C-alpha cells in the first residue's frame, strides 16, 4: 500500500488546514463570544470568524456563537446566534456584492428580515433584486420623514408637484400613513448609539 508520508493525525490536521484556508473570510467580520455545552462554560476568549467556521463540534464540544459587537454591522445582521455555515455564506455574498461595505450589510439585512430568505441559500442577484432605498440619520422620526418625502417625489412625481404647488395650508402629507401602507417593505435598523437606517422597497 502506497503511503503519502503523513501519519493519521498529521493528515487530519492538513485536511483541516485546507478546509480553513478555503473557508477563511476575506473580510473583517469581527469576533464572537461563545458557549461550550460540553464544558458548560462560556468560552474564555472571543474567537474569530475563521475559528467559528472551522470549529469541530465533535472534538471541541458542541458550542454556539454570537457577535461580540466589535463589528457593529454583525450585530444588526445577526440578532442571535450565528453558525459557521452562515459566516461562510456571508463571506461569499460580500465578495459577490463587491466588499464588506456598510451598504452591503444593510442590503443583506433587508433581504433576510423583510423577505425571509435563508442566508445560506441567498444569492447576490436576489439581494440586488430587492435593492432597497437606504436612508441614514440620527433618529427614526427625522429619517422616516426624509425617506417619505423622497419616495413620494420619486414614485409619485405628479402628485408631489401638485402637493408642493398647492396654496392650501390644510393639505397635509402623512409620513407614517405613507410608509406604513401595504405599498412598501420597510425595515428600521439601529446601527449604533448615534445612527439609524431606514430601508425601503416597493412591494
pLDDT in tens, 36-95: 999 999 999 999 999 999 999 999 999 999 999 999 999 999 988 999 999 999 999 999
Is 111 a domain residue? Answer: yes
Expressed as residue numbers, the domain containing 139 is 133-202
The tens digit of pLDDT for each residue in 98-114 reads 999 999 999 999 998 87
Q: Are residues 12 and 111 in the same domain?
A: yes
Q: What percent of the chain has a predicted confidence (pLDDT) above 70?
A: 86
Last residue of one domain, picked from the residues 124, 157, 181:
124
Whole-number average pLDDT of the chain: 87
Beta bridge partners of 170: none
| Confidence tier at 13 by pLDDT (50, 70, 90) | very low
Q: Which residues of 59-68 are buried (b: 16+ CB within 10 A; e: fewer)?
A: eebebbbbbe
Q: Are residues 108 and 56 in the same domain?
A: yes
Is 120 a domain residue? Answer: yes
Q: Going along the chain, which residue ranges are E strands?
A: 31-36, 41-42, 47-48, 63-67, 133-137, 184-190, 196-202
Q: Structural domain tally of the chain?
A: 2
Q: How far apart are CA 30 and CA 106, in angstroms?
A: 16
Per 3-state DSSP, the chain is made up of helix, strand and coil in percentages (nearest 5) of: 45, 15, 35
Last residue of one domain, picked from the residues 70, 101, 124:
124
What is this structure's pTM? 0.81
Last residue of one domain, picked from the residues 124, 155, 177:
124
Amino acid at each position: 500500500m502506497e503511503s503519502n508520508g503523513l501519519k493519521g493525525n498529521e493528515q487530519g490536521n492538513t485536511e483541516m488546514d485546507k478546509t480553513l484556508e478555503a473557508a477563511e473570510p476575506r473580510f473583517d467580520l469581527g469576533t464572537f463570544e461563545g458557549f461550550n455545552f460540553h464544558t458548560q462554560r462560556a468560552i474564555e476568549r472571543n474567537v474569530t470568524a475563521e475559528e467559528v467556521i472551522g470549529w469541530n463540534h465533535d472534538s471541541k464540544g458542541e458550542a454556539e456563537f454570537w457577535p461580540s459587537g466589535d463589528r457593529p454591522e454583525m450585530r444588526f445582521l445577526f440578532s442571535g446566534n450565528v453558525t459557521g455555515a452562515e459566516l461562510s455564506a456571508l463571506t461569499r455574498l460580500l465578495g459577490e456584492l463587491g466588499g464588506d461595505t456598510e451598504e452591503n450589510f444593510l442590503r443583506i439585512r433587508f433581504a433576510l428580515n423583510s423577505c425571509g430568505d435563508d442566508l445560506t441559500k441567498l444569492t447576490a442577484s436576489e439581494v440586488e433584486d430587492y435593492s432597497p432605498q437606504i436612508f441614514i440619520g440620527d433618529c427614526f422620526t427625522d429619517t422616516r420623514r426624509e425617506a417619505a418625502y423622497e419616495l413620494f417625489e420619486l414614485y409619485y412625481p405628479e402628485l408631489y408637484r401638485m402637493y408642493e404647488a398647492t396654496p392650501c395650508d390644510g393639505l397635509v402629507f402623512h409620513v407614517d400613513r405613507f410608509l406604513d401602507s401595504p405599498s412598501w417593505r420597510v425595515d428600521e435598523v439601529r446601527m449604533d448609539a448615534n445612527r439609524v437606517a431606514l430601508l425601503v422597497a416597493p412591494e
